[in-house]
Structure 1
């Protein structure tokens, strides 16, 4: 007589990025180290898998695509930093564009100006962005829905994850404050918002 099967464990892949030119300290890499200590690893049949991605165009396929295929997650929440942001931004779409001006962490540039020649111009985030926005807003911190994920690796990563068919979203955070008089969000504040976003994601998976 076959043994009864246990509940199927679902996985939410959560990623941050390594430093890159112009951003020697990436707060999202620090978040990937801190969040596992603040969130219950497995709850109600859903677990978080935290990873730090290389900030390279080659890593887009060698690391990030492999993670998606090896883990087969049920949802993906990417975190990245944007030096121009002052708020936490829930990205609502990715565009089929890649900057060829800004080098990656290895000094390389995107090979083409399109992420996927012949594909659509934009892809819409496939996790419920408004619900995640509302969750993050409960932190009391400034949060916004954004239609501009840029044209660097953050945008490319979201583009690929949406295209994989896995429900996905990207969250941009500001850089860390420099000095006591810098009013940008602290790492602890970003962490608070990230926890709310991830707990809401867990409820939605």
Structure 2
């Protein structure tokens, strides 16, 4: 049985502690999720730099996961954003954590204009709302590393989903993270099930 890959991100300018990394680690270490999946998920905390797509994300994807759950932070959002697509476009305005800007506007000059997550995004959004989380579908994963990494991962022939989380609240952050982890574990199970149905 192919494993589930969970990714989060390291710090970047304006976000010295990235909550997506803590949440991804919590999910990957969850005994409950491991039992539900029939095996431990694999974890990759990505450096928030364009070079990490080649040096960190691509090697993780070539290990042939059965599904991929990606987590990032959207500092201005007030709800979980279920990203339904990624664009073949980078921003040349904002540098990454290494201080570099994207080398070109198109992430993949020979690739499609966009890639979509498909029906699994709609299912995940409904699942999160049933769990009591404020969550909505989003058509804009940004022009930064979240979009770029998502575009790369969506090229894989397995279920892939990117979830953007808000900044943690100033009080009650532990309970907030625990609630997210429980709901995201259900999304992880959904992705793994979809992967098995599709031959993963």
TM-score range, shorter chain: 0.7 to 0.9
The 3-state SS of whatever aligns with 1:40 is helix
2:140 maps to what in 1?
148
Instruction: Select 1:193's aligned residue among 179, 183, 187.
Output: 183
Conserved 8 A contact 1:10-1:45: no
Deviations 1:86-105 (A, max 9, x none): 11111100011101111111
Residues 44 and 106 (structure 1), Cα distance of their counterparts in 2 relative to 1, 3 Å cut: closer
Deviations 1:130-182 (A, max 9, x none): 111122112201010111111111111110111233321111111112x34x9
| 89-98 or 187-196, which deviates more | 187-196
User: Does residue 27 of structure 1 match 2:19?
Assistant: yes
Instruction: Select 2:60's aligned residue among 58, 67, 75.
Output: 67
1:50 maps to what in 2?
43
The 3-state SS of whatever aligns with 1:135 is helix
Residue ranges of structure 2 left out of the alignment (5+ in a row)? 196-200
Q: How far apart, CA to CA, are the structure 1 residues paired with 2:159 and 2:65?
A: 9
Conserved 8 A contact 2:33-2:185: no
Deviations 1:79-122 (A, max 9, x none): 10111211111110001110111111111111111111243221
The 3-state SS of whatever aligns with 2:98 is coil
Give 1:125-164 correspondences, 5 Å limit.
Answer: 125-126=117-118, 128-164=120-156
Structure-1-length-normalised TM-score: 0.86
Q: How far apart, CA to CA, are the structure 2 residues paired with 1:166 and 1:115?
A: 20
User: Does residue 104 of structure 1 match 2:90?
Assistant: no
Q: Which has the larger Rg?
A: 1
Q: How many aligned positions are there?
A: 193
Residues 44 and 149 (structure 1), Cα distance of their counterparts in 2 relative to 1, 3 Å cut: closer
Residue ranges of structure 1 left out of the alignment (5+ in a row)? 1-8
Conserved 8 A contact 2:88-2:114: yes
1:4 maps to what in 2?
none
| Runs of 4+ off more than 6 Å | none
Residues 68 and 126 (structure 1), Cα distance of their counterparts in 2 relative to 1, 3 Å cut: farther
Conserved 8 A contact 1:127-1:167: no
